[in-house]
Chains A and B, each alone.
Chain A
Amino acid sequence: MKTKKIVLRIIYHIFIAGLGFVMIYPVLWMISGSLKDNSEILSGSLNLIPPHWRWENYKTGWAGFGKITFTTYFKNSIIITVIATLGTVISSSLIAYSLARIKFHGNKLIFTIMIATMLLPGQVVMIPQYLIYNRIGWVGTILPLVVPHFFGAPFFIYMMMQFMAGIPRELDEAAIIDGCSKYSVYSRVIIPLLKPALISTIIIQFYWKWDDYMGPLLYLGKPQAYTVSIAVKLFKDATSKTDYGPMFAMSTLSMIPVFLIFLFFNRYLVDGISTSGLKG
């Protein structure tokens, strides 16, 4: 009986770990491809250890296209991502506080509109927004990619509201009795307690923005303004034959910020996603 249990457990772990390996194999293949040359990549070998470690792929890749190096692309991506993420966190927490904690006329209506906006696929507003940005002269600048983030993102507002529901109202009331106004309740009571939700917002928004391809594709005109996600695709667009090694090298680098965040904040991320989904 006991041996049967142990055998079953071993089978379980082999299955789960094996499937997990298959799942991340494409990513490992990309990383190993960043150290191979074209013929080694295209040989179809499943081997992940490069026969020769070709670090020069990183140097070739970093040189970029037409005198614009990846230093520029990374700088652009970081600027856009950081500004957009800050905007999202600040504005979404303000809005979530008003909807979750303040009873005002129109609270319910605004909440309903917020949920409806959350259910609205972004592609439906792609053309309408493009037309507006074009009219006010924002096309070709980073403004369409960052400014809208300062007006709240429904997904995160909803997540923060769910989280605030778990913060006892007695704390607000106690603070008010102690002389806080409704404004300082936000800054002194809610914000410190909201930290886990704020951190998951920062993480999720960061990697959404970092990976965003469509926005930069629509709005960034000049090559000097390209983000990493656009630049990586340029390896494939080049008229001459694709250099897979440098392409995978830059692809690997483009994932490093996301990997780092994943390593350090894994716990918060998992908690954040789990709570946002509850009681949906």
Chain B
Amino acid sequence: MSKTKTPAVVSGRTPWNRFAYNNNTVGYAFAAPFIIGFLAFTIIPMLTSLYYSFTDYNMINKSNWVGFSNYINLFKDERFLKSVGVTLQYVALSVPIKLAFALFIAFLLTRPSKLVSVYRSLYYLPSLIGGSVAVALVWKELFSRKGLININLAKLGLPTVNWLGSMTAAKWPIILMTAWQFGSSMLIFAAGLKEIPTSYYEAAKIDGANGWQIFWKITMPCLSPVIMFNLIMQLISSFMVFTQAFVITTGGPNDATMYYALYVYKQGIQMRFMGYASAMSWVMLLIMSAITAIVFKTSKHWVFNESES
């Protein structure tokens, strides 16, 4: 940025002034909250928990060093393995459904119309309130055995589903609730769609491309960086699924929705097996990093980068 390292206007040349107006001093002064916060609320807790993951710490008794046994037990713990499985399944189902829906609606709302901004607000509303307990409680009632959905399915002569009581069905209300909050992804897609130069479309039309070809050859490649951004953001947030499952199913039936965060909460906060829960947090960090790394690595092949081509 500045070619003028020390602005001439710095009055007085006392050592204090030279120190106070130096770029390094200014930079660290402004960045200090982040550095302190990062150390205090991320690094120190993480390292402490790394230590505890090798102990049997339970917040009451003195902790004993147990070596790798927490980690070994994790892989023998069927509930843990199942929770990894259902979490991955939830992520694999909810993220694509949510993003496909977001893209579809964003695409529909690019048509110039006075009502479009009203519609956009309408579709955005669920992601504004969807994380709240209030909505989760509504969901629980809608999908309960004698809830609104089942009663109306029956009225239409369709078979009813024991949504929250069946191991195969219980994931759907939660996935549907996640997909329902597609609003913020939709807004990001909409902004991305607006950035695509209309000249690209015109050129394609002149060359005789049909709507389908234009979508796959122009819209999708131009939108791929935005898709990548949404994908990463949604992957991370869907790994954190907690409130909905906690309120709607409490992890049941028979652990069918016992997602990772919920299981960590059960073991750590409720049962106070802090050593075990710490090990679980570290395994989750490794899984998450691996998945994010895979997405970034493969992105070279499908994310179209204008500066490179």
Residues of A near any B CB (own CB < 8 A): 12-13, 16-17, 19-20, 23-24, 26-27, 29-30, 33, 41-44, 46, 91, 94-95, 97-99, 101-107, 110, 113-114, 117, 119-132, 134, 148, 150-152, 157, 169, 172-173, 176-177, 179-183, 186, 207-208, 210-211, 213-214, 218, 229-230, 232-233, 235-236, 244, 247-248, 251-252, 254-255, 258-259, 262, 266, 269-270, 273-280
| B290 CB–A CB distance under 8 Å | no
In this assembly, does B188 line the interface, its C-beta being within 8 Å of a C-beta of chain A?
A: yes
Q: Which of B134, B237, B264 has the most chain A CB atoms inside 10 A of its CB?
A: B134
- Interface residue tally for chain B (C-beta within 8 Å): 102
Given A27-B135, A127-B274, A130-B268, does the pair A122, B240 have CB atoms closer than 8 Å?
A: yes
Interface 0/1 of B281-303, CB less than 8 Å to A:
10011001000100000000000
Pair B137/A251 contact, Cβ less than 8 Å: yes
Complex: A254 Cα to B129 Cα, angstroms: 10
- In the bound complex, residues from chain A placing their C-beta under 8 Å from that of B277 are 127
Instruction: Collect the chain B residues with CB atoms within 8 Å of residue A266's CB.
Output: 121
B183 to chain A, nearest CB (A): 9
> Mind listing 5 A-B residue pairs with CB under 8 Å?
A27-B125, A110-B34, A125-B42, A251-B133, A280-B225
| Residue in B closest to A22 when the chains form the complex, CB atoms | B180
Partner of B34, one of A151, A230, A233, A276: A151
The CB with the most chain A CB atoms within 10 A, among B33, B122, B277, is that of: B33
B26 at interface, CB cutoff 8 A: yes
Whether A121 pairs with B30 at a CB distance below 8 angstroms is no
Tell me the nearest residue of chain B to A250, going by C-beta: B134
Given the known A-B contacts A102-B23, A127-B278, are A262 and B44 also in contact in the complex, defined by CB atoms under 8 Å? Answer: no
Q: B119 near A: Cβ within 8 Å?
A: yes
CB pair A247 B122 closer than 8 Å? no
Assess whether B147 is in contact with A99, with CB atoms less than 8 Å apart: no
> In the complex, how many residue pairs between chain A and chain B have their CB atoms under 8 Å apart?
283
In the bound complex, do residue B1 and residue A104 qualify as a contact, i.e. CB atoms below 8 Å apart? no
What is the distance, in angstroms, from B163's C-beta to the closest C-beta of chain A? 14
Hey, which bits of chain B sit against chain A, CB under 8 A?
Answer: 1-2, 4, 7, 9-10, 21, 23-24, 26-31, 33-38, 40-42, 44-46, 48-49, 52, 59, 105, 108-109, 111, 113, 115, 119-126, 128-129, 131-135, 137-142, 146-148, 150-152, 155, 180, 184, 187-188, 190-192, 195, 225-226, 228-230, 232, 236-237, 239-240, 242-243, 246-247, 260-261, 264-265, 268-269, 274, 277-278, 280-281, 284-285, 288, 292
- Known contacts A44-B151, A130-B268, A277-B229; is-contact A16 B240 (Cβ 8 Å): no
Nearest chain-A residue to B146 (Cβ)? Answer: A42
Count chain B CB atoms within 10 A of each CB in A12, A23, A42, A233 and give the residue with the most: A23
Asked if A128 and B152 sit within 8 Å, CB to CB, the answer is no
A122 to B131, CA, bound (A): 15
Evaluate contact between B239 and A123: CB separation under 8 angstroms.
Answer: yes
Which one of B1, B24, B191 lies within 8 Å of A274 (CB-CB)?
A: B191
User: What is the minimal beta-carbon distance from A260 to any residue of chain B, in angstroms?
Assistant: 12
A24 x B10 contact (CB < 8 A): no
Question: How distant is A171 from chain B, measured CB to nearest CB, in Å?
Answer: 12
Report Cα–Cα, A62/B26, bound state, in Å: 50
- Would you give the shortest CB distance from A110 to chain B, in whole angstroms? 6
Q: Which residues of B contact A125 (CB under 8 A)?
A: 41-42, 45-46, 281
Q: Which A residue's beta carbon lies closest to that of B59?
A: A134
Give A274 to B109 CA distance when docked, in angstroms.
14
Q: Which residue of B26, B38, B151 is within 8 Å of A183 (Cβ)? A: B26
